[in-house]
Structure 1
Amino acid sequence: MKKGKILAALAAIMMVSGANVPIMAEVSQLDEVVVEADRYRQNGNESVIKPLGVVADQVQNVGLLGEKDALETPFNSMTLTRKDLDYFGSPEKGPTDMLTLNPAVRDASSNLYNDVSIRGFNLNGHNMYLNGIQGMLDQQHAADIYIDKATVIAGPNLGIVGTPNRENLGGTILFTSKKAQAEPNLDLTLAYQGGKSFKEAVDFGTRLGHNQRWGVRVMADNIQGETAIDGDKLMQRDFFVNIDQKTKKSKTNLLVGYNYADQKGAQFTWNFNEYNQPKGSRLPKAPDNGRSYLPEWTNNEYDNWIATLNHEQILSDHTTAFFNAGYHREDWYGYQYGTPRLQNANGDYTVHPENYPLAVTTKYFGGGIKGKFNLGLTKHNYVLSADRMMYDNYGGTNKKWGNNGEILLRGNMYTGYMDDSQYYMYPHEQGSAPWSSSQFVTGWHISDDISMFDDRLNMIVGLHGHHAKQIKKNGENKKYHGVNPTFGLNYKISDNFSVYASHAEDFMIGRVVGAGYKNSGETLDPGKTKQNEFGFKYKVGDMLHTLSFFKIEQPNFGRTEDNYYGIFGKQKNKGFEYAFSGALGRKLDLIGGIAYVDAKQAGTGKKANGVPKWSGTAALIYKPTERLNILGRATYQGSSWIINEKYKVPSHVLFDLGATYEADVRNTPITFKAMLYNVFGKGYWSARAGNSTVVLGTPRTFMLSATLHL
């Protein structure tokens, strides 16, 4: 890259990371280079081997086992590419829109939080993995400028991933960060994101040194303005640097990042005055989703410091040592927020805002060896490792508000009436976030990937063991021990058709009861989750089809009428998923599928809260010319029940439509994108798995962006 372009990149990065003027957007991304494998070229960009069009990769991240061909993996798994995020990620939800292209993943997010569910179990950013380490992502309006790919592995496969600080009951989500490519890039993006919100971003990458040993990728963005939701104002700044190196004997990756956000008037869920309505009542009609129902002084202000380090060192032809480390500090120092509670079918609601800071610190380190050997007719790829996860929680008990820490707001979601006068009657200074609890988890892993019969039969055996300790401010200490197996068997009937079966278990730390319950802060006893799964995978041309059947059993969490949270028997989820991803010829890429989940509370036979039986999604990229892409997506979420079959949440269908165009302006390539999300302006409630709250869906949002490739 010429010196002028490097200087231009540095100037752009400084402008974006320090800008106060909103102008900005979405980031173009060159696909990751996998040095150890052959590569294919698509549209002039490099991609990992065997790409399924531009929407998915056939070679997938399988945790500690590294990368495996999807046809040899005994799980329902899908690796989504950066293109999915660039094409279909909305300003409000970003990574969630990417993940839900996998039918096993359902949307449980809002414009404030990026939650999802897998097979009927909820996850937020703290559950997800970044560069192989859990707890490195925040749970709010997540930064996504650094994301390259995301692999979704359905099911609680604790035996093949690093030690977590919390359970992943429904599945595992593994993000990887962008790296510098063989060809340098400098991409500048300006975007309008709906309402009065604008975004500006820069993405610069280059490789340096002998044989391009060192790679540097610098990514920054600035978002500012009122979103497509009237009264919801977001200011966000993100800055990430990824440095990697590779030689014949080693490879290293270091990601360092900072994320700041201040979001005012934003809202996550709605709650209900649940015990004054008869069983089977219809949920009140969703109100206007183009406005906020919280006052403008409510805010969520926070910053995140993130660092991950991964290193591999080849010791011999058959043995490699590896080391991973991570640090994440999420400082939620601005927290004046409350959840609206609907009182009746007329739309009257109340809010009890809380005013106290929160913070979490996550630290991780681990290492081990992996290698390969042959034993008779079998080939073995093994992993032996040990690691430690440390998690500190701050805040939650030091409320700083007048009137003994509480005020009351009233409103009506249909008329727009709101009375927040008590906010101005009492002082509301901000306090500190005192330490409240810590947990330490020391784990070990033994995994063996066994193949035989010319690699047609593949078997995975994984064991994870851990010793966990919780320490709380009130002096309560608890210890837990567990061993979690994962077994998988995959047989390739032909080069393009395989069948598989697997069994996985998860037993971690007892869940801590959150705020809002009478027993808030109590640690519940841990429970074991078990899953059995079998399925089929078939590849036709560049299109991969997966059909999977599963059954999961875990403790059933809920609350009593007098508002105590606890475990009430078991919950059993069973169902199937059909997923497709890839290209149909040169002009059409498709991704999506359908999912069926029958989730019931064992003993009572009642349907699990917030879990629709049916859901589905389908997205396409149609390329009538080399320069023009037509984008379309349809998403369906079926009806579900909440509050133990008291309210029925209606089904909904959403449509997104847009296009991208590759232009040349004075010899500068420019990618233009226009996208309309929720085309028909559908107003809807969205259920949350295992929960009796609902989310008000996002409104029709128009987005327009231009990315300059310098």
Structure 2
Amino acid sequence: MILLHWMALALHLAVAGAMFAAAMPSAHAQAAAAPARAFNIPAGTLTAALNRFAEEAGVFLSAPAELTQGKNSAGLAGSFTVDQAFAELLRGQNLEVVRQGDGSYALRQAAAGASTGVLPVVRVNADAETGAGDLPKAYAGGQVARGGRVGLLGNKSVMETPFNTTSYTAQMMEDQQASTVSEVLRADPSVREIFPEGGPAEHFNVRGFYMQTSDFAWNGLFGMVPHNRGATEMLERVEVLKGPGALLYGMAPAGAVGGVVNLVPKRAADEPLTRLTTSYMSDSQLGMHLDLGRRFGEEKQFGIRVNAVKSNGDTALDGQSQDRILGSVALDFRGERVRATLDAYSIEEKQTGGMPLLSTFASSQLAAAPDPTVNTQRGAYSISRSKAVIGAVEFDFNEDWTGFAAAGTKRQTGAGYLNNAIGMNLQTSGAYTAVGMNAKNFFDATSAEVGIRGRFRTGPIGHEVVLSTNAIEQTTGTTANMVTWASNIYSPTTGTRAAEPAVAAKTAEIKLDSIALADTLSFMDRKVLLTLGLRQQRVRTTNFAASGAVSGTPYDSQALTPAVGLVIKPWSAPLSLYANYIEGLSQGATVSDLTSANNGETFAPYKTQQVEFGAKWDAGTFMNTISVFQIERPSLIKDAVTTRYSADGEQRNRGIEWNTAGELARGLRLLGGASYIKAITTRTQSGQYDGKTAIGIPTLQLNLGTEWDVTRLSGLTLRGTAIYTGHQYANSTNTQELPAWTRFDLGARYATRFADHNVVFRGSVINAFDKRYWSGVWNGYAAVGAARTFQLSASVDF
């Protein structure tokens, strides 16, 4: 309640326009009163041309992107001063650039001009490797960024990062009408959601390894993200790093090793923002989202960003309704030597009337996927409440050395059917055993990080050194009641609902702490970058029985885990070759299969090793990354006779990935790629499962999203996305094979002005051709694919 009152007070202050008064002098942007110099800016969108020029000229530009949406530029070739170059780039656009008192520039509408389109305010920064407090700018097309956070290394350019990384922008989230992180990650060919879409939780495979939302990071801190679903309305970026991230971020609370998803909250931009978005989702769900941003002080050093969301109504699943409330406040201070942030959020999500289906199969003959709108458990419901407060501060000792610290706490409770509509032993006729599991749980977490980052040289070698330590403490509790009954997925019957437990008994305490040291050495004018790092890690876990007594033997283990990363830029062309070797120590997996004899057992922590090689090519407005990797880690295998899981064998994933993003041609944007993974189990007992494909890992995954600005109607953009997922197995013996599937999502948006306000209308349809399919596998349970869902929204800037 204190958190909610605090958030309401912050919202009131933002609306009233009163915040802080005193101000410290902030660092000025570089003045651009420079002589003429040669520029060669390619033709393309106006946004891309301005971004490219700002980078080459070394200036700061504040550019409300609604002014550039749908506009193109003929480029720039020749010698110009900064002012002359801006005038040439904006010729015929009814726009002008005005120099500010701090030496930066601001884009605005010319006296006789009219603007079209509306997108988030974009602060263009000439440095793709900006320090903390400034995010790497958006790449051509605005869907991804030029760089992102690489854990303790801070924000890095994609071209100077020895890992495969992608950073999805707030613009991409808005244009694709994504309200959860899983909807953002649809664009990534290395990621697949393995829970049914529209359920109360989100679970993923990343590079063929399991990940859940609780393993997401919040601005580099683990444990601060809601356990069930990640909301996007309060996010500026969703950053994905593929592969183990133990050196970079520390240990993930639930043991994810396939990658790290880092969520970056929104901050107030230099220009005021008041945006109201109304939305509709089939069947009858209505929503409203207020996004409010203001800066205060003589040099706008104080900022507040408020996001408030309310939605309610029926979903595409027959008989199900959803009620969602979100409130978030992001405060920040930008001083000359000090930067500080404070984030707080509160989220409540309710689903009543049913859950999407998950089921195991009885034999190698699989039932056809049912109509995803059919409700197999009409009495099911769930409710989840999450609250968190996270603070961070940075202090520049001098121009080369910076200290940083961050800390946060999260509290979350849940009740109801939190694992969807579960079923077992599904026959080809559709007959199966329905399982009603009514649970109550809680997740309390505290996380902190402290460190120092600096630069120095030893002769011709540059050094970027980071020393940091972090710690996470998490207490979890779960109690569940379960009933079963005979039903059919095509014509379900309603069973007796299990009683909700009175309390959630504590089940585990987890303490993760580590200290890390990393040095990035630069040679030959940064054409060669070598990152060396070590992290001393410790894992302590204690499990508890329902009575509160300690269950089993508490685990306490330490390990020293190294990492090496290499980037080589061999030519003047924008090409980077990279390689890495990284290890990680992760918390041991917990069995969550209801049909197993040791459901709930937690295993000892395990080590993971990754070797990766790749190449990155920046073609100016079109970026590509090719990666070849191998990841090895111990795995859990279920014995078909005893139904017990054991740490039996190893999972070895070998794969190749292609990621692409940017503008292929004027007004034509692409986003997606392909992933080929051969995930096999090895070293199993008596070789029983050696050479078998790991459960739920498709060999081939393809994603291709396209956007086309219709030239004959300014402001109109059409969008289409194709998602292909290859066949996958639902059991260890590879006798239950889910067919490959392809899904198409379509969308459009129209940006205009109405009554002197910027307005954007958006519409989309998920699973446009009503494909029926089994989408993925979670612990041997196959998930039914998404129902055809229509979405409409209108955003207005006031």
Structure 2 SS opposite 1:160: helix
Residues 156 and 172, structure 1, Cα contact 8 Å, conserved in 2: yes
Residues 322 and 350, structure 2, Cα contact 8 Å, conserved in 1: yes
Instruction: Please name the residue that 1:643 is paired with.
Output: 731
* Pairs within 5 Å for 1:498-509: 498-509=576-587
Do structure 1's residue 485 and structure 2's residue 562 form an aligned pair?
yes
Do structure 1's residue 206 and structure 2's residue 302 form an aligned pair?
no
Q: Which amino acid aligns with 2:215?
A: N
* Pairs within 5 Å for 1:415-454: 416-420=491-495, 422-423=496-497, 428=499, 430-454=501-525
Residues 153 and 466, structure 2, Cα contact 8 Å, conserved in 1: yes
* Pairs within 5 Å for 1:547-566: 547-561=626-640, 562-566=642-646
Instruction: Please name the residue that 2:84 is paired with.
Output: none
| Distance of aligned partners of 1:220 and 1:367 in 2 relative to their CA distance in 1, 3 Å threshold | same
Q: Which amino acid aligns with 1:657?
A: L
Residues 307 and 327, structure 2, Cα contact 8 Å, conserved in 1: yes
Q: Which residue among 373, 396, 401 is the counterpart of 1:290?
A: 373
Do structure 1's residue 546 and structure 2's residue 632 form an aligned pair?
no
Q: Which residue among 727, 744, 747 is the counterpart of 1:658?
A: 747
Instruction: Please name the residue that 1:594 is paired with.
Output: 674
Q: Quote the Cα distance in structure 1 between the aligned partners of 2:59 and 2:214.
A: 32
- Give 1:105 deviation, angstroms: 1.5
Q: Quote the Cα distance in structure 2 between the aligned partners of 1:682 and 1:73.
A: 39
- Give 1:343 deviation, angstroms: 3.3
| Range with greater deviation from structure 2 (261-270 or 361-370) | 261-270
Structure 2 SS opposite 1:97: helix
Instruction: Please name the residue that 2:538 is paired with.
Output: 467
Structure 1 SS opposite 2:586: coil
Do structure 1's residue 584 and structure 2's residue 664 form an aligned pair?
yes
Q: Which amino acid aligns with 1:573?
A: N
Structure 2 SS opposite 1:211: coil
Structure 2 SS opposite 1:317: coil
Do structure 1's residue 87 and structure 2's residue 175 form an aligned pair?
yes
- CA deviations on 1:360-399 (whole Å, 9 max, x unpaired) are 1110112011111101211111111112110001123xx4
Q: Quote the Cα distance in structure 2 between the aligned partners of 1:406 and 1:300.
A: 15
- CA deviations on 1:10-43 (whole Å, 9 max, x unpaired) are 49xxxxxxxxxxxxxxxxxxx9x99x98457444
Q: Which residue among 407, 421, 426 is the counterpart of 1:325?
A: 407
- Larger Rg over CA atoms: 2
Instruction: Please name the residue that 2:103 is paired with.
Output: none
Residues 131 and 308, structure 1, Cα contact 8 Å, conserved in 2: no
Q: Quote the Cα distance in structure 1 between the aligned partners of 2:777 and 2:599.
A: 21
Q: Which amino acid aligns with 1:461?
A: L
Q: Quote the Cα distance in structure 1 between the aligned partners of 2:59 and 2:224.
A: 28
Instruction: Please name the residue that 1:686 is paired with.
Output: 775
Instruction: Please name the residue that 1:344 is paired with.
Output: 427
* Pairs within 5 Å for 1:130-209: 130-209=218-297
Q: Quote the Cα distance in structure 2 between the aligned partners of 1:571 and 1:212.
A: 52
Q: Which amino acid aligns with 1:382?
A: V
Instruction: Please name the residue that 1:316 is paired with.
Output: 398
Instruction: Please name the residue that 1:15 is paired with.
Output: none
Instruction: Please name the residue that 2:128 is paired with.
Output: none
- Give 1:548 deviation, angstroms: 0.6
Q: Quote the Cα distance in structure 1 between the aligned partners of 2:60 and 2:617.
A: 22
Residues 160 and 486, structure 1, Cα contact 8 Å, conserved in 2: no
- What value does the CA root-mean-square deviation take over the aligned residues? 2.3
| Distance of aligned partners of 1:682 and 1:701 in 2 relative to their CA distance in 1, 3 Å threshold | same
Q: Quote the Cα distance in structure 2 between the aligned partners of 1:542 and 1:409.
A: 57
Structure 1 SS opposite 2:583: strand
Residues 158 and 486, structure 1, Cα contact 8 Å, conserved in 2: no
Q: Which amino acid aligns with 2:439?
A: Y
- Give 1:460 deviation, angstroms: 1.2
Q: Quote the Cα distance in structure 1 between the aligned partners of 2:754 and 2:543.
A: 61
Q: Quote the Cα distance in structure 1 between the aligned partners of 2:202 and 2:334.
A: 34
Instruction: Please name the residue that 1:673 is paired with.
Output: 762
- Give 1:641 deviation, angstroms: 1.4
Instruction: Please name the residue that 1:382 is paired with.
Output: 465
Q: Quote the Cα distance in structure 1 between the aligned partners of 2:182 and 2:756.
A: 35
Residues 671 and 707, structure 1, Cα contact 8 Å, conserved in 2: yes
Do structure 1's residue 107 and structure 2's residue 193 form an aligned pair?
yes
Do structure 1's residue 96 and structure 2's residue 174 form an aligned pair?
no
The gaps in structure 1 that reach 5 residues or longer are: 1-5, 12-30, 400-404
- CA deviations on 1:689-708 (whole Å, 9 max, x unpaired) are 7x321110111111111111
Q: Which amino acid aligns with 2:376?
A: Y
Q: Quote the Cα distance in structure 2 between the aligned partners of 1:235 and 1:265.
A: 12
Q: Quote the Cα distance in structure 2 between the aligned partners of 1:70 and 1:313.
A: 25
- Give 1:515 deviation, angstroms: 5.8
* Pairs within 5 Å for 1:1-80: 10=15, 38-39=60-61, 41=63, 42-44=65-67, 45-47=121-123, 48-49=136-137, 51-80=139-168
- CA deviations on 1:156-183 (whole Å, 9 max, x unpaired) are 0211114432322111111100000010
| Distance of aligned partners of 1:512 and 1:7 in 2 relative to their CA distance in 1, 3 Å threshold | closer
Of all paired residues, the percent bearing the same amino acid is 26
| Distance of aligned partners of 1:560 and 1:640 in 2 relative to their CA distance in 1, 3 Å threshold | same
| Range with greater deviation from structure 2 (160-169 or 562-571) | 160-169
Q: Quote the Cα distance in structure 2 between the aligned partners of 1:234 and 1:151.
A: 28
- Give 1:555 deviation, angstroms: 1.0
When the two structures are aligned, how many residues end up with a matched partner?
664
TM (norm. structure 2) is 0.80
Instruction: Please name the residue that 2:130 is paired with.
Output: none
Q: Which amino acid aligns with 1:597?
A: I
- Give 1:567 deviation, angstroms: 1.6
Instruction: Please name the residue that 2:115 is paired with.
Output: none
Structure 1 SS opposite 2:771: coil
- CA deviations on 1:600-635 (whole Å, 9 max, x unpaired) are 111411111111110110112211244111111111
- Give 1:466 deviation, angstroms: 1.7
Q: Which residue among 319, 324, 348 is the counterpart of 1:231?
A: 319
Q: Which residue among 346, 361, 371 is the counterpart of 1:258?
A: 346
The gaps in structure 2 that reach 5 residues or longer are: 1-10, 17-50, 68-120, 124-135, 684-689
Residues 452 and 468, structure 2, Cα contact 8 Å, conserved in 1: yes
| Range with greater deviation from structure 2 (526-535 or 176-185) | 526-535
| Distance of aligned partners of 1:324 and 1:9 in 2 relative to their CA distance in 1, 3 Å threshold | closer
Q: Quote the Cα distance in structure 2 between the aligned partners of 1:518 and 1:634.
A: 40
Q: Quote the Cα distance in structure 2 between the aligned partners of 1:270 and 1:185.
A: 42
Q: Quote the Cα distance in structure 2 between the aligned partners of 1:515 and 1:330.
A: 23
Q: Quote the Cα distance in structure 2 between the aligned partners of 1:58 and 1:254.
A: 25
Instruction: Please name the residue that 1:22 is paired with.
Output: none
Q: Quote the Cα distance in structure 2 between the aligned partners of 1:382 and 1:629.
A: 45
Instruction: Please name the residue that 1:18 is paired with.
Output: none
Q: Which amino acid aligns with 2:494?
A: D
Residues 546 and 580, structure 1, Cα contact 8 Å, conserved in 2: yes
- Give 1:585 deviation, angstroms: 3.9
Do structure 1's residue 373 and structure 2's residue 449 form an aligned pair?
no
Do structure 1's residue 305 and structure 2's residue 387 form an aligned pair?
yes
Q: Which amino acid aligns with 1:661?
A: Y
Residues 365 and 428, structure 2, Cα contact 8 Å, conserved in 1: no
Structure 2 SS opposite 1:573: strand
Q: Quote the Cα distance in structure 1 between the aligned partners of 2:509 and 2:246.
A: 22
- Give 1:68 deviation, angstroms: 1.2
Structure 1 SS opposite 2:647: strand
Instruction: Please name the residue that 1:19 is paired with.
Output: none
Residues 186 and 192, structure 2, Cα contact 8 Å, conserved in 1: yes
Q: Which amino acid aligns with 1:477?
A: P
- CA deviations on 1:201-256 (whole Å, 9 max, x unpaired) are 10000101120011100001111111011122111100000011111101111110
Q: Highest relative contact order (Cα 8 Å, sep 6+), 1 or 2?
A: 1
| Distance of aligned partners of 1:520 and 1:707 in 2 relative to their CA distance in 1, 3 Å threshold | same
Q: Quote the Cα distance in structure 2 between the aligned partners of 1:136 and 1:657.
A: 33
Q: Which residue among 603, 606, 610 is the counterpart of 2:692?
A: 606
